[in-house]
Structure 1
Amino acid sequence: MPPVSKTDYDQTYTYEEALKASVEYFDGDDLAASVWVNKYALKDSYGNIYERTPDDMHRRIAREIARVEEKYPNPLSEEAVYEVLKSFRYIVPQGSPMAGIGNPFQVSSLSNCFVIGSGADSYGGIAKADEEQVQLMKRRGGVGQDLSHLRPKGSPVMNSALTSTGIVPFMERYSNSTREVAQDGRRGALMLTVSSKHPDAEGFIDAKLEQGKVTGANVSVRIDDEFMRAAIQNKPYKQQYPIDSDSPVYEKEVDAARLWQKIIHNAWKSAEPGVLFWDTIIRESVPDCYADLGYQTISTNPCGEIPLCPYDSCRLLAINLYSYVDHPFTAKAAFNFEKFGQHVQMAQRIMDDIIDLEIEKIERILVKIENDPEPEDIKQTEYELWKKIRKACVNGRRTGVGITAEGDMLAALGLRYGSDEGIEFSTKVHKTLAINAYRSSAVMAKERGAFPVYDSAREAENPFINRLREADPALYEEMLAHGRRNIALLTIAPTGTTSLMTQTASGIEPAFLITYKRRRKVNPSDKDAKVSFIDEVGDHWEEYNVFHHKFLDWLSANGHDVEAVRHMPSEDLQPLIEQSPYHKATANDVDWVQKVKMQGAIQKWVDHSISVTVNVPEETTEDMVKKIYETAWESGCKGCTIYRDGSRSGVLISDKEKKKEGTAFRETMSPKRPERLEAAVVRFKNNSEDWIAVIGLFENRPYEIFTGKSEDIFIIPGYVTGGWVIKNQDEEGNNRYDLQFEDKQGYRVTIEGLSRSFDKEYWNYAKLISGVLRHGMPIPYVVDLVEGLNVEEDYINTWKNGVVRALKQFVPDGTKAAESACPSCGDQDGLIYKEGCLICKSCGHSECG
């Protein structure tokens, strides 16, 4: 069977066709459908869509897996692979594998994540790492970097600077590079780590406290056991550089308890830094048995679930645990361990096939680089980078088999997430997963050959391998006899968009919310319409309950009328939720001690790591956060991240009322619109056309925006820079927005219908921006949001840039820019907003000329 080629695809679909068909595929779930079409449907660089529904995608993936299988004994058939992939029911390739397998239109990697690091402590090494990072991100990969090899602040250097600036400025450099790289509608992802032994660790810990700093990276501290013991026992702790040297050139003694408290405080305040219990990671790491052969773990991927050596990468795949519960939500509910074990072995085999496909992809990348017209010296870094990645991939054949729907599996079995019984059962499931994945890898070693550097003697004292040996002696003997196909196999990653398509809880997490309210516009003349309210522009809306998908399954299994429940008032709905197995088992309900215990117990059967967040309520104290972290260390977790409700802006919140007295804002943070608003008039070019934006101001802050061509019906005299936006009604009773201003003679002139020069697309974008403005998002963030809108047509892009220029005038002078490194003088935090333009306070550089 030949590889998939462009000639295999002769039919394209419009976005609307693919979305409509996919909504039907997902039983009306428009969010799942739009995520699939936007992120995973096969498309070329011009946006042409070649797949109508996820079923087409699953056929594409199954064909490619079967093609690889044909190279080996006892191959899986295309139909067998398709059966476990279809409908996202059992085995789900995540992210890059889903988008890239069998994709002949784009040259991209199948790896979800990479770690880089030459260990060079020089400007050349730092710049090279920056280039390697963006080269990987443009191929769709997330990247991790450790900064512990960089000399601390104040160290002497052999150049005109005389002393080193330390690691913090380079955090900002790498963060900014991440923000600049687009990946199919999203920015790149970056993890920065540093050892607690590094003398600049405190600066690293504080780097993100300043608003707008290091916004393009997650940060975690590599904490060793010595630090934890010193912090708990209130003893001093030695930092040094180099951190692992027997003869360091610099040493200092610090108060471990004070530094630990700083980590706790910052995590309590802003959910970062995360902590990585580094000695546990290295002690348990199977790849580190081969550290001298290039597999020494130095950092993790952006979400922390894959600790990696330099230039290694990993691909992710999730097994949908909910689908192995027979008769879910009934008295007969039972977990099908036999089917689960069989599918785990298939999943590991499919993951190994994906490694072969990744090696093919890397070869294509190398050929593309060779054929690029750039000079050899410019291409050299990227070319050598992919050669190193290929070597690590070939010699280790690392995989990342994980799970999703842990919370739904437990609920379907009638077990409460976080209960002792639930923890015990989950641990049994993950033990079964580990044994069967390693068995599959051992069988493949016999059929296909072991990973090239395998050596059983190196692994003899590894705790994870010995745990497997005790649980299944026959499996261990199989590995001794034939080796193993893969250096490390397992992880538990956040499943994000994957869980939207499996319509389950994400990864190892419990369900986030059982229900929230949603609104949809209805036609008031529709006799079946249930109008909940009429908004300020006269549109009619129905309000209804949206539920966690598997809660609906519970409703059906227990004889409830789902449609009736959708429209229940909150007071009737809550008693129903309390009858379900999801009661007291959502993200903010689960007791933190139990969640950390669960993570530690499951970690024993995961050879990489686990991405999990401990959610705690807003009133949680710093002492409680400290207990969470310390219990995680004591329980054998490899890392821990906490999120205190409300500690970081821009995340999902529940629909609980949060009313504050004495504020002009209601619970939605949207102040009621007065009939009359002050207006600012801003002019800009849209390609060669003259355009005008009218911005309605509430308490001197942008509240809404209208824009259109100045030479069309949107004619406003050139001297007009302000006035009033007045809300009126037309003859049919619909809301209308007019601009009123004073002419040169002092007479008031009114221009009616600010919105009528919009076409549909402009109007939708303007409503989105206006909604964000009136709900109180800080203007720099609105500017960033609008700049990040992914639009293909040039005319929309130009319009978007004009709106950005208009809004920037309302950024308070002195506000630091997210992109804070000056392109002229390099000052790391020199760029500030002044009169709507980015100005460098150090050298005077201006983006406005």
Structure 2
Amino acid sequence: MLSKNAVTVLEKRYLRKDESGAVCETPEDLFRRVASTLAAIDADYGATPAEVQETEARFYRLMYELDFLPNSPTLANAGTRTGQLSACFVLPVPDDLGGIFETIKHAALIHQTGGGTGFAFSRLRPKNDLVNSTKGVSSGPVSFMDVFNAATESIKQGGMRRGANMGILRVDHPDILDFIRHKEDLSKLTNFNISVAVTDAFMEALEANSHYHLRNPRSGEIMGTLEARMVWREIIQRAWNTGEPGVVFIDRMNRYCPVPWMGGYESTNPCGEQPLIPYESCNLGSINVENFVRMDDSGKTAIDYDALREAIHVSTHLLDNVIDANHYPIPEIRDVTLATRKIGLGVMGFARMLFRLGVGYGSEASFKVAEELFSFIDFESKVASIKLAQLRGQFSGRDGHEGESNAFFERLFVERDRNPHRHPSANYLDLVALVKEYGIRNSTTTTIAPTGTISIIADTSGGCEPVFALAFKRWQADTHMVDVDKVFLDHAKLHGYYSDELMAAVEANHGSLLGLKGFDMPTKAAEVFVSAHDISPREHVMIQSAFQKYNDSATSKTINFAEDATVEDVEAAYTIAWQTGCKGITIYRNNSRQFQPLSVPKAEPKKTEQPAEAVAPVAAPVVPAVPMAPRPRTRSEDLYGFTRVTMTGDGKLYTTVNYDEQGIREVVTNVGRSGGTLNSLSEGIGRLISLALQYNVPVDELAAQLIGIRGANPSGFGPKQTLSIPDAIGKVMKDSPRQLGAILSAQPVVQPSLEPQAVEAYTYAGEATVNGRYGVHAVEVYGESPECPECGHSLAFGEGCAVCHGCGYSRCS
């Protein structure tokens, strides 16, 4: 049964709507639409109508019971005119101007259909290198990244969100330091995640405390050396500051590339879990592993591997059909994707599964559960893919390269068979002969992808991430309600330690049980019901490493740090990731950006949260005076003022501020080229402000009420950013005294750079500079957790993405 949150997400993002915008299909209709569209592909491989109908029933049941869901584009677009079913792509960036802008065009087409893109800029010649055609010099890869970012800014993914990109540069590129430092200014590359492609040679130099070579990608010549330790510390320091750049271990990724003869890995998709060769796409889906925990008559829980096996085989079949049903944005992507037939079967609900098994996330036992679980999923997906190859043929990229491909899979299977914590039935060595005889349908079968909105639909935890809080506040029915994790809630009630006071205390304690006193709870509860706040960075990395051992692709996971973590702590996590076989790492240190994604409260209430009567002194009784009605100021026939044009996410806003002898007298607002609704709302705001000014309400108090209100479409960056129409009006009013002085002196006004105090008052989303640095000043206005821009609910950060558990807003899915 779908939760209220799931229905909200489906209605807003996935269910079909008629011309008036009204929802015209049910969730059951959606699952039927997807199942029918994908099952129809079986007919292309000789299935009878009855067999197609049987496949459709299996696909439908898998989704209807929330045991598995494909990625968002498949849910939204299967069976529709758009028909684009992939979430992400990688495009090449060649070292010539025509090729660069051809790639920008291709990226725009992808973003238009709802996809994200990954780029490696490592082929571009370095800054100041010779350009023979013009006899000039190159501006370097970082400058072209800004061009890609600007192009992305003008296109929304699938009409719903701005395009997401990954930008990668090899560590041995001569411009690597410029790249590492470029995003320290968070107003730059706002549509990019960035990562450094770290080579084995670099890591060897780092371990030896020596220098490594920089190479010109145009000529291959050595252009100099850098001290590996210095570059590593630059990466670590920037990640500590802002969470970026991440790191991908590019040579390790390429050792697991199944088709090196078609081109090696240079980049990943935006969230980092899919290394892709140029023009490849990702076709992803996730199994809700929480659903496969069963309880026996004695009350003991275990994973039902027989049921899970069936789900894996049906999911693999479904994802393979996605490849054929897909409407690809450009022919090159279609050709490469059909040749490699890469799929990515992953998980969601892992943390909730651990709850049900009585295992604490981050414990040694949890690492073993992760290995056993994912080795089973990987092994069975390979079995399913080999069976599909028997029926449909191997992926065509193997044709003519069977010897190389067989050697690759043999090496892969031998390596995985040696792992001591794999599932007992995952006999990888049995697969070697099967691949040689029948081939395999898909060049890869597994990944760990972000599951933001689909995990909300499935009402479970995201990916392989921990539960971000056991209890948190949700705005509902005009009041804050404490929302409690359902497994924890059931356990508390079953074992007799539930109370409203405990739930409120957990919410106030960062959503954690750790350190709570005065409550009678089972000792093991705090060991099992672990939230993200309780888990060390090392434990995060070790979970990622456990999944990676059986993961064909990579893992989208965030390594969370407390705000007081040191640079050395971050370096330790990066080092552990390298040592334990991870293919990359992304970290986030709490409050390291102004856009603070976590949404659990501080233990102490803020002063601004105190009710007014709690801070006002109680006066002695007085004899009430006869009340006098306030008298409005009369309006002079002639006023003088100025009009400010502000670009907002809803169009140009024209704000006219008029003065009389006593100061501001009225504010008139208009949204240019907008429909009647926006104009009427802005006009209404202006009339109310003008009425308040007539009764001498201070201008700064009116401005303070408006500044900081966020809408769904913020616009601009840094000091010029506007969060909404009210925010823009408030900022114009705040500036009005200075404008009045300019008007009286008849001097033109130059827009100022904001002082730090002003930045603290109304900036948002990590886009304001304070003395050249990016701090957490916006926390004073917006609290620790800015609300979702669409529904006002708090955001959570995990799987490398900010997600709203209220309405399903996500930057990634």
1:127 aligned to which of 81, 101, 114: 101
| Mean Cα deviation higher: 809-818 or 40-49 | 809-818
Give the conservation status (yes or no) of the 8 Å contact 1:227–1:256.
yes
Identity across the alignment (%): 27
Compute the displacement of 1:340 (Å): 0.7
Deviation digits for residues 297-338 of structure 1 (CA, Å, limit 9, x no counterpart): 121000000000111101110000100001399941111011
Which amino acid in structure 2 is aligned with residue 192 of structure 1? G
Task: Confirm or deny: 8 A CA contact 2:489 2:498 kept in the other structure.
Answer: no
Work out whether residues 144 and 191 of structure 1, in 8 Å CA contact, stay in contact via their aligned partners in 2: yes
Q: Which residue of 2 aligns with 1:839?
A: none
Question: Does residue 1:813 correspond to 2:752, yes or no?
Answer: yes
Helix, strand or coil at the partner of 1:220: strand
Q: Assess if the C-alpha contact under 8 Å between 2:86 and 2:115 holds in 1.
A: yes
- CA distance in 2 between counterparts of 1:63 and 1:323 reads 24
Distance (Å, rounded) in 2 between the aligned partners of 1:214 and 1:714: 34
Aligned AA (1:291): P
Distance in 1, Cα, partners of 2:500 & 2:121: 54
Q: CA deviation at 1:408?
A: 0.9
The structure-2 alpha-carbon separation of the partners of 1:33 and 1:399, relative to structure 1 and needing over 3 Å to count, comes to same
Deviations 1:470-512 (A, max 9, x none): 6333322221111111111111011111111112111011111
Residue-pair matches, total: 673
CA offset at residue 559 of structure 1? 5.1
Displacement of 1:279 after TM fit?
Answer: 1.4
Instruction: Say whether residues 1:645 and 2:617 are aligned partners.
Output: no
Q: Does 1:492 align with 2:448?
A: yes
> Per the alignment, do residues 325 and 139 of structure 1 end up closer, same or farther by CA in structure 2, a change over 3 Å counting?
same
Instruction: Evaluate the alpha carbon distance shift between residue 114 and residue 604 of structure 1 in structure 2; reply closer, same or farther with a 3 A threshold.
Output: same
Work out whether 1:194 is the aligned partner of 2:131: no
Quote how far apart the aligned CAs of 1:175 are: 1.6
> How far apart are residue 803 of structure 1 and its match?
5.3
Match of 1:457 in 2: 403
Q: Cα offset for 1:148?
A: 0.3
The alpha-carbon distance between structure 1 residues 785 and 692, as it changes in their structure 2 partners (threshold 3 A), is closer
- Give runs of aligned pairs for residues 531-610 of structure 1, distance below 5 A: 541=479, 543-558=480-495, 574=516, 575=519, 580=525, 585-610=530-555
Distance 2:165 2:244 in 1: 14
Partner of 1:177 in structure 2?
151
Asked if the contact 1:329/1:413 (under 8 Å) is kept, the reply is no
Q: How far apart in 1 are the matches of 2:173 and 2:696?
A: 66
Shift of 1:460: 4.0
Q: Whole-Å Cα distance in 2 between the matches of residues 597 and 715 of structure 1?
A: 56
Query: Does the CA contact (< 8 Å) of 1:684 and 1:692 recur in 2?
Result: yes
Tell me, yes or no, if structure 1 residue 221 matches structure 2 residue 221.
no
1:728-807 pair list within 5 angstroms: 739-741=692-694, 772=709, 780=717, 784=721, 786=723, 806=732
The alpha carbon displacement at 1:353 in A equals: 1.0
1:233 matches 2:204? no
Answer whether contact 2:243 2:586 (CA < 8 A) is retained: yes
- Rounded to whole Å, the distance in 1 between the matches of 2:279 and 2:652 is 49
1:43 to 11, 14, 17: 17
Match of 2:57, SS state, is helix
Give how far 1:160 is off: 5.4
1:63 is the counterpart of 2:36: yes
Cα offset, 1:772, TM superposition: 3.4
SS at match of 2:119: strand
Show structure 1 runs of 5+ residues with no match.
1-24, 366-385, 523-540, 674-679, 696-703, 717-723, 726-736, 742-747, 756-765, 788-798, 819-849
Residue in structure 2 matching 1:325, options 270, 293, 297: 293
Paired residue secondary structure (2:602): coil
Distance in 2 between residues matched to 1:779 and 1:480, nearest whole Å: 56
- Partner in structure 2 of residue 626 of structure 1: 571
Q: Residues 230-288 of structure 1: CA distance to partner in whole angstroms, max 9, x if unpaired?
A: 12321011111128xxx6244211111001000000001100000001111111222xx
Confirm or deny: 8 A CA contact 2:316 2:384 kept in the other structure: yes
Q: Work out whether residues 340 and 443 of structure 2, in 8 Å CA contact, stay in contact via their aligned partners in 1.
A: yes
- Measured in 1, the distance between the counterparts of 2:684 and 2:371 equals 68
Q: Which residue of 2 aligns with 1:310?
A: 278
Structure 2 match to 1:154: 128
The SS at the match of 1:390 is helix
Q: Deviations over 1:785-813 (max 9, x none)?
A: 646xxxxxxxxxxx789859958979973
Equivalents in 2 of 1:599, 1:636: separation in Å? 9
RMSD (Å) for aligned C-alpha atoms: 4.3
Instruction: Give the structure 1 partner of residue 675 of structure 2.
Output: none
Structure-2 separation of matches of 1:222 and 1:688:
40
Q: Tell me if structure 2 keeps the 8 A contact 1:329–1:557.
A: no
How much has 1:613 moved relative to structure 2?
Answer: 0.9
Aligned residue in 2 for 1:467: 415
Q: Deviations over 1:172-216 (max 9, x none)?
A: 111222222112321111000010010111110001012311111
Q: CA deviation at 1:229?
A: 2.0
Structure 1 residues 300, 785: CA separation in 2 closer, same or farther (over 3 Å shift)? farther
Equivalent position of 1:612 in the other structure: 557
- Residue identity in the other structure for 1:221: V
- Check the 8 A contact 1:691/1:710 in 2, yes or no: no
Q: Contact 1:178–1:217 at 8 Å: present in 2 too?
A: no
Q: Structure 2 counterpart of 1:186, which letter?
A: R
Contact 2:187/2:717 (<8 A) preserved: no
In structure 2, distance between residues paired with 1:190 and 1:235: 33
Contact 1:504 1:550 in 2 (8 A): no
Q: Is the 8 A contact 2:393 2:441 kept in 1?
A: yes
Change (3 A) 1:801 1:615: closer
Match of 2:78 among 96, 101, 124: 101
- 1:248-397 equivalent positions in 2, closer than 5 A: 248-286=220-258, 290-292=259-261, 294-327=262-295, 331-358=299-326, 361-362=327-328, 386-397=330-341
Post-superposition offset of 1:26: 3.5
Question: What is the identity, as a one-letter code, of the residue corresponding to 2:315?
Answer: A
Higher relative contact order (CA 8 A, sep 6+): 2
Could you give the per-residue CA deviations for residues 547-569 of structure 1, whole angstroms, max 9, x where no partner exists?
23332343354456687866678
TM-score, normalised relative to structure 2: 0.74
CA contact (8 A) 1:504 1:549 kept: no
Output one character per residue of 1:102-148: Cα deviation in whole Å (capped at 9) or x when no partner: 12xx324111100001x521222222221111111111111000000
